[in-house]
Amino acid sequence: MPGLVHCVHGAGNRCADGKTHGSDTPLVMLLLDIYPLKRITISEGTSQNLRVLLEKVPLFLLISILSIFTILAQHAGGAFESFERMPLHFRLVNALYSPLFYLAKMLWPIGLVPFYPFSQAIGFFDPTYGISGILALSITGGCVWLWKRGRILFLIVWAYYLITLLPVVGIVQVGIQAAADRYTYLPSVSIFLVAGIAVAQLFAVLVRSKNIIITGGVIVVLIFILFGLLTVKQIKIWQDSERFGNISSRVFLEECISRTTTWAYCIARGDCTIKPLKNMKKH
């Protein structure tokens, strides 16, 4: 019960702070009821499953009310993008692209920038978006296939990843960014949990060999050092507004850099006549 109270309290705070991430809490709790708690199972019949579902009704109602207030507050603040400026098909294509985009950034955190602009060529027939969408659907199908063979963990992990990512994939677009690294705080939990389980099982198999343990330990230390150096390098992006904008423009040479960042820098310099830059060349 204390864990449930903390979970609800955290979700409420997220919504009250103007964040949409808390809206997925009831679905996440249902996933946990399926696995590993196994409170929802096909063998138990509908009565047991219905009881567990009814437990979540008050939480669904509470989160729904808080989410409505969050949406109204963001709409009043002008944070929402209209369907005229950003059509539904545009949002759906970006939503299919987002899971693979974030997954790639988690597994190989290179090219991280403060602002990810929308591509000028966004569309399902664009190779980048089309292939990403097909891969996301393929992973989903693969997880369902494994579930049918008794390996439900992968389906739960992937479902958690998608559900916690759903509020921020852009179907309800807030702001002008296509993506943001901070959106992966919660979704990444399931991915790295599986990675940790895999490493633990691999270690259990290889623990018999002393040489392998030493080699594996050295590799782990080197990985930590590498990611530590990358973290130190990444932090420097936030040195000032000028560096903040330059990093984005170097990564996305053919896209318009953040209007917000550029205008904020111009205002700080007292020069509001500078326009957002396009097609900047590398320095």
Three-class secondary structure assignment of the chain: CHHHHHHHHHHHHHHHCCCCHHHHHHHHHHHHHHCCCCCCCCCCCHHHHHHHHHHCHHHHHHHHHHHHHHHHHHHHCCCECCCCCCCHHHHHHHHHHHHHHHHHHHHCCCCCCCCECCCCCCCCCCHHHHHHHHHHHHHHHHHHHHHHCCCCHHHHHHHHHHHHHHHHCCCCCECCCCECHHHHCCCHHHHHHHHHHHHHHHHHHHCCCHHHHHHHHHHHHHHHHHHHHHHHHHHHHHHCHHHHHHHHHHHCCCCCCCHHHHHHHHHHHCCCCCCCCCCCCCC
**What torsion do the CA atoms of 242, 248, 254, 257 make, to the nearest 10 degrees?**
-60
Percent above pLDDT 90 for the chain: 18
Name the domain boundary from 39, 56, 79. Answer: 79
Residue 212 has a pLDDT of 75
13 and 129 assigned to the same domain: no
Residue 20 has a pLDDT of 59
Q: Is residue 121 part of a domain?
A: yes
For range 57-64, the mean pLDDT: 88
98 and 202 assigned to the same domain: yes
For the stretch 225-278, pLDDT in tens is 988 888 888 787 777 777 776 766 666 654 544 444 444 444 444 444 434 334
16 and 108 assigned to the same domain: no
Residue 139 has a pLDDT of 94
Neighbouring residues of 225: CB distance < 8 A, sequence distance ≥ 6: none
Residue 239 has a pLDDT of 73
Q: Is the pLDDT of residue 6 over 50?
A: no
Which domain range does residue 262 map to?
A: 240-283
Q: Is residue 87 part of a domain?
A: yes
Residue 141 has a pLDDT of 95
Name the domain boundary from 32, 48, 79. Answer: 79
Q: Higher confidence at residue 87 or residue 132?
A: 132
Least confident of 55-69, 138-152, 154-168, 193-207: 193-207
Selection from 63-67, 80-84, 135-139, 218-222 with the highest mean pLDDT? 135-139
Q: Higher confidence at residue 280 or residue 172?
A: 172
For the stretch 102-132, pLDDT in tens is 999 888 887 787 778 777 667 778 888 889 8
Q: Which residues of 40-57 are buried (b: 16+ CB within 10 A; e: fewer)?
A: beeeeeeeebeebeeebe
Domain count, the chain: 3
90 and 197 assigned to the same domain: yes
57 and 94 assigned to the same domain: no
Residue 251 has a pLDDT of 65
Residue 11 has a pLDDT of 52
Q: Is residue 230 part of a domain?
A: no
Q: Which of 146, 25, 36, 170 minimizes the C-alpha distance to 97?
A: 170
Q: Is residue 215 part of a domain?
A: no
For range 31-39, the mean pLDDT: 89
Beta bridge partners of 179: 116
